[in-house]
Amino acid sequence: MSERIPDAGLESQGIETRADLHWNLVTARLVDAAVRRGEGKLSADGPLVVETGRHTGRSAQDKFTVRDAETENTVWWGKSNKAMSPEHFAALKRDFMAALNDKEDLYIQDLFGGSQPEHRVRVRVVTELAWHNLFIRTMLVRPEARELKGFVPEYTIIDLPSFHADPEKHGTRSETVIAVNFTEKLILIGGTRYAGEMKKSVFGLLNYLLPLTGVMPMHCSANMAHDGSNTAVFFGLSGTGKTTLSADASRTLIGDDEHGWSDEAVFNFEGGCYAKMIRLSEEAEPEIFATTKRFGTVLENVVMDPVTRVLDLDDHTLAENSRGAYPIDFIPNSSPDNMGPVPNNVVMLTADAYGVLPPIAKLTPDQAMYHFLSGYTARVAGTEIGVTEPDATFSTCFGAPFMPRHPSVYGNLLKERIAKGGVDCWLVNTGWTGGKYGVGNRMPIKATRALLNAALDGSLNNATFRTDPNFGFQVPVAVKGVDAAILDPRETWADKAEYDATAAKLVDLFVENFAQFADHVDEGVRQSAPRTPATA
């Protein structure tokens, strides 16, 4: 059942096992194996449908990085990067190897993280589940047959959902563990069937490695004009529209989640997409919806009728975070090589539930670094009746859990590349207008697209701008095809005094959050901090 067995097998990595090893199986054979082993079922239209159990998302509190001579002064230790001792990792590794030796079957994929050959990393992924092997084969960059010959991995991921960590013995928080050892170039994942842990582990590797080569790693989507020019990257946290706004039929999709910005290109780290499925609309997102009817798609925690095998994308019984993994070429207007030229535009998306930020603003390089390090969005605090207060979220670099190095490393890289390339930077608010959540309304998607199109085609640069009194960035006064009333948030509020008070609160939240970075940035970035008119 093996295909493309490499010259150097697992024994070259010190892994001994009695298991049958299934190397680099193609999609159809992995689907066969997953169904035969009872790991999942085929839906009426062809995708493999699986359940991840109690872990329906990442276990951020269970991720650790080994703190040793390699990482002591290179990793930003704290909330996002928790330390594990070399001794605890050694004990964990011994028990992982013993568990591998007891398996009857193991599935192995040799893959690339990164589409640009000069900047990719060779990764070997060993899984006990066939569907996990299919998932990671779908999500990473698949080598050509000639590239598999003589493949020698730089990093290895071992994924064993059946493994249960011992907190006392292994230094973990629970039975679930994601342990990263940069010195041994080994990642161990146990106690979770959520396949996204593998994908984000490779992202973390690239975020650690690429800054040393001057490449900017980014948690963003990216697209370009159909003629292969005018690249745009879209930073944004969940719920801000990152996937929706970049999946534009009038442009070519480079990727939906993870990219690098080198001297020559914006390149996708992946060869697949990982989209939310809950309440997916055929009308609003037809290209993504079509993937739910394709063989080769993996659907996680999507409810399926046991008799008809018909999907119910609106049913959140198994998870609110139901997901679909599919090759990027399932999207008709995707880039064939997952790459585009260096960007002309950087877009930072936020869903401001306070209703304070304008629908679009132009940023200087210093302001762009400030807002990149802030990584702001605001979610609704709860869904209970009567709860109307937003909840501010600041995720550094729009992806703090995946950034091993200090945020200033990524912020300075972004600022340098923006200045070097003369890139236009925009802050786009897809959140609320006319009041905060519970009072105002969500920003009209038609207006957002019109403003975004004007920014990307360059016409917005010719608009008349005003300076926002709180944030200091430039806001257009009028844009063709957009109701001018929504361009000034204060004027959309019935109670202007309430707007001023809410804006002052948001300014304070920004300033309080940014205090942690103040000593790591230059004066221009510090001066980009917002301030209320009374304190300006």
Catalytic residues: 58, 200, 219, 238, 242-243, 257, 323
CA distances from 319 to 56, 156, 301 (A): 6, 30, 6
The helix/strand/coil state of 370 is helix
Q: How far apart are CA 228 and CA 48, in angstroms?
A: 34
Distance between CA atoms of residues 39 and 35, nearest Å:
6
Q: Cα(85)–Cα(91) distance, rounded to whole angstroms?
A: 10
Angle between helices 496-514 and 365-374 (to 10 degrees): 80
Which structure tokens are listed for 290?
């079509």
**Exposed/middle/buried for residue 191 (C-beta within 10 Å: 0-12, 13-18, 19+):** buried
Q: Which residue spans within 74-176 are E strands per DSSP?
A: 82-84, 105-113, 121-127, 155-160
- Taking the C-alpha atoms of residue 442 and residue 432, their distance in angstroms, rounded to an integer, is 4
Whole-number Å distance between alpha carbons of 19 and 257: 35
Closest by CA position to 426, among listed 185, 148, 234 = 234
Cβ atoms of residues 492 and 486 within 8 Å: yes
Which amino acid is residue 58, in one-letter code? R
- Cα–Cα distance between 204 and 217 in angstroms, integer? 10
Q: Which of 324, 207, 224, 201 is nearest to 259 (CA)?
A: 207
Whose tokens are 């054979």? That residue is 29
DSSP-based helix, strand, coil % in the chain, nearest 5: 30, 25, 45
